[in-house]
Structure 1
């Protein structure tokens, strides 16, 4: 991520950290560069007037010093009467604009406050040195007594992950910019999650998912409706029985349409993200840029499906097999039942690609980490339809060469039976079938390949915007 430098001509902005002493609010006053020039001229006038006996120089020195004192007292009083707050953040996706909004309130009853500058640090949660630290800047104009004003910063991130924002620092150089008075809010840090970017789904993308029971295609061989009453029609999906096709509607629209029945049980889908890179089967081999780009496409497709289904209030679960599956603080299997899918998107934001050896625990029953992870949670996945999103093919994972006859492998779930019954959908992001329903734009592929190996300092940009003008564009 690259930081936006402070605007030219604004004295007093510094990159030095402010040390806190455990209090909630700490204030600090210091001279700006212009204030130091004023005091230097005043000192020169005092020395010249004393040596030459010119009272006019002494009078000039007194006027300069008095202006600095008035500046310090005015700015110090103004910053103490300012209340600054940051609105809660909900995170954002890679490539989208994340707005950080602030509210500045003037608590003074008689005097206005002008030119309040806001500065915050933005650091990745996994930063190991101070080089991975940037600043976010914003500013406000005049704030009338007992009034509030809002300002915002527009950030755009090029890589996903978790970033810590804070502490919150407000400063002012009003009225003569001779000194800077700062106010720091302690314990104001907040975490920003940057989710994988969203893809464009084409028409009939639901055909990539398992058919819904009853209303969305009966999987029984007889085609009888034992799950609910008829209440509508919908386009045909893979797994729908031929006896549910409504032929009149099919002839009229030119596409197969099936009858839809009222469901007695809610459709539950579990997305299983395969984060194992095929080229990392050898521990001594590094991932190629194309592998890293495909891994980001896998996460983006999972995030897109989750976002679309939660909008329709479909219960969704997520199980990720990657390098942090065993060290993840929460349970690897996450579930949401409403429209808030942030817990699942946050898990995808923290995902890290891994090899077979890196993503496997020390003691496993199965040679492939994906099979081992799903087998350990088989009892909790029994009532859900499974959607596996992977860079690998179904036969390469479930029926590896030379391992199909192993006793441990024969105790794994019957993947073929799940696929035949319509309870398992294996989505290979590199297949032509996936490209029929998912738009992987050329700009997205180039964007992910260019940023797959970029250092953290190129992860995003921030630029202050005014509350009275539209947010300015952010260069990507």
Structure 2
């Protein structure tokens, strides 16, 4: 007689578990649209309740439950008072506003420490008088509050405010919000008006000597050893091959030897400068040192752009916009101290950010006191032998120095005002 085969408990439970998961998935698929619909309808209502309002509402419900459960009249009175306060607060939310809000910043671009003023003009665009309210305007990390009086139709109210510019940044003003709510702060309804406006607080810069601050050294138009089919510096003649441009056929020689010959040229170099500025906090002793490095890099880039030399500036976030001095300085405002973007080291960061850029004739690396000469020199192998490398190390309070490490010029900058003198020393 053969013994019956017993299934292990896990094998018996597996089908039941699969059925339970399928049932749960089906229920979730049915309830998900319902939940989204409830959130869409109830969300605007629930958002008007402030944290204080939720506390008062919760205590009111708890007091009513305790009074029903234990018959305590004191809790009945407390619950009714708290719930009545929430109910009365809803009366302050009734009504619709019709505002036209204009936010202006003058000027839109300033240097660190310069004064920047803003103006907010509020207009009643409706056909009826509006009750007094409060307007909140986010400015950077702060919020400016302006009490608005009752406004007749088409009436304007102008409010002025000052924007702090003590640090390099992109400061966003707006959008403005009109606030309706009770005096206890239980309920609060905010309506946004107007679009946010950006204020660019540029870093401090200094003017450097012309000709790319002595970096280019007449590279523009220099003849290189590379042979090309189309340039200015004639090199030699070679036999014609299909596909060659017939404009470069040397007809006199071709007629003499009985074979088509075309001109070859030596490629002339065009100056292409890359400025590298890391934002990783590991390369700086402090945030103030980083700000000095940003000012140095922006000063160099601004002079190169004024001289009309091709320029790229890269940081961990990516390449800056360098179409004009203004756009370059705008890009510098968006840098944040401590950004790493997941790069394993300084050399990897430079390789990733420059591999799609044109081959440079000069690479300028600007970093803090914790970016050693060895790390700066490690990027030399990423570029050709004809590329000139310049390292700039900022170290607050240190005397200005001009030296050389392994054939690379190395500048030490303690103050922004030291930069012009050091570059004059480079070009001399």
The two structures have a TM-score, normalised by structure 1, of: 0.43
Structure number with greater CO (CA < 8 Å, separation at least 6) is 1
The answer to which structure has the higher helix fraction is: 2
Higher Cα Rg: structure 1 or 2?
2
Normalized against structure 2, the TM-score is what? 0.47
